[in-house]
Amino acid sequence: MPLIESLSGIRGIWGADLNEAIAAKYASAYLSFLSKRIGKGLTLAIGMDTRPSGHLLKNAITEALDCNFIDVGMAPTPAIELAVRESGADGGIIMTASHNEPAYNGLKFLRKDGAVLSENDMQQVIGICGKIKGLRIRKSRLSKISDKSSELSGKYGKFVLDFIGKGSIEKIKKSNIKIVLDPNGGAGIAAKEILQKLGADIAGVNMEPGVFGRKVEPDEDSLFYLSNIIRESKADFAVGLDCDADRAEMILPDGSIVSGHYILALVSKYILSSNDKNYYNNKNIKNNEYNNKIVVVNDATSNVVREVVESLNGRIIETGVGEINVVDEMLRQDAVLGGEGSSAGAIIPPSRCRDGILTTACVLALIANEGKSLSSIIKEMPKYYTLKRKLAFNRKNHDSMIDGIKKYYTKNNFKIRSLSDSIKVAAGRNSFVWFRASKTESGVFRVIADSDNKSTAESLMEDAIKVVSNAGKS
């Protein structure tokens, strides 16, 4: 599998697609990109998840670049992004492969506000990298490294606590909520102390850094075993994090997983209906006004989020897939929340990325405020059925496939909308089918069908698979 270059940075198998020299080359291209915009004498925040190869990557980068570094150490991605903002750094580098297995690693390159680079900026970095010849890792560092890991870790914990606010924290403490936390040896280990300070009772599993007890990607299959631990520990639900803790998947006592779309809907409900003195109250949001009650989602997000947001007098704005697309639209709209339903983690300002720990904190606060179980709150929400499929395809046929899909649905009088590189076909107000070639998995074409009617969702998916198959042959 070749090295993957995408909006999220670069990612590959350590020792095969990615090594010290390749990492140093991309990091040098990134520094060159920043230097052209900002100037010399730059300071970068640098941090990693718990993969064993992270230290080798960090050494290679800090030895190759002539700049100042603020070392955040092992930390969740949202904490590293916060460190960029808090420290006044000119940018940052995160060494993580997120939900990929331990054999992988990668680099995320950050802007001054902590967000990942835009697609255009990332393409510039890739272009600069392609022109670098014969880069060698220096044997002695020219860079200056300041270890700020303890200080910045404390600031991230305080950020989460301050956001939730004293009112909700008191309610969480009185609610006696107990959850099972499974960070799987990843950077989300930091969540245990933070969630305990919120007032939750935490039963931790897989808490040793760098020891991966299950598949890294948290999903229904890898987290199903937690249902037994929920029952044995008499917990309310379980949370499974990926390696850099930007995603939080939730498992109910019956073993069912809470869809990322519903998690985003839950956080929307908490934020848009909250009366606590948190970040959003400081912006004077009023429940009966649209002012700032904007939630930005990608166009593959289930309509359950739209229904919940609109029921609270909010408004949904859609953008193309990709975290940075959502983040930039949030900034343009001064939105209170954003996210991609396919990834279980909300983007909550001033954060510039998904945050699995803060997402979990918001769900705990919602449970405490509502005085109901997580299962009960979900049952009261509109019921939507979201089906996902990954189809193999030849990337050489991509353009002809897209043309074939558009022609079929246009011919059958469906309303089609394209955002960035996706196709969304509306089948009534509450149903759609969505198509897009994966940017992170080679040769994978993604299809999503969403509807408030199960048979409609199944029919849309069945038809979509046939359409993709026929389009790929044309």
- The DSSP element (H or E) to which 297 belongs, if any, is strand 294-298
- For 440, counting Cβ atoms within 10 Å of its Cβ (0-12 exposed, 13-18 middle, 19+ buried), the class is middle
d(CA 152, CA 155): 5
Count of CB atoms situated within 10 Å of the CB of 245: 31
- Which segments of 219-314 does DSSP mark as H helices, in order? 220-223, 226-232, 260-273, 303-311
Q: List % helix, strand, coil for the chain (3-state, nearest 5).
A: 40, 25, 35
d(CA 162, CA 380): 29
Name the active-site residue from 98, 153, 274, 422: 98
d(CA 171, CA 149): 31
d(CA 254, CA 94): 36
Query: Interior CA angle at 234 toward 232 and 239, to 5°?
Result: 90
Going by C-alpha positions, the residue among 108, 189, 433 that lies closest to residue 299 is 433
Q: Are the CB atoms for 240 and 225 separated by under 8 Å?
A: no
- For 142, counting Cβ atoms within 10 Å of its Cβ (0-12 exposed, 13-18 middle, 19+ buried), the class is exposed
- The DSSP element (H or E) to which 131 belongs, if any, is helix 119-131
Q: Are the CB atoms for 202 and 235 separated by under 8 Å?
A: no
**What would the two tokens of residue 406 be?**
């558009």
Whether residue 350 has a cis bond before it, omega within 30° of 0: yes
Going by C-alpha positions, the residue among 270, 275, 292 that lies closest to residue 283 is 292
Count of CB atoms situated within 10 Å of the CB of 404: 19
d(CA 445, CA 436): 6
Whether 268 is catalytic: no
C-alpha of 34 from chain center: 24
- Which segments of 371-453 does DSSP mark as H helices, in order? 374-379, 398-411
What one-character DSSP code corresponds to residue 44?
E
**What would the two tokens of residue 53 be?**
């190869």
- Which residues does the annotation mark as catalytic? 98
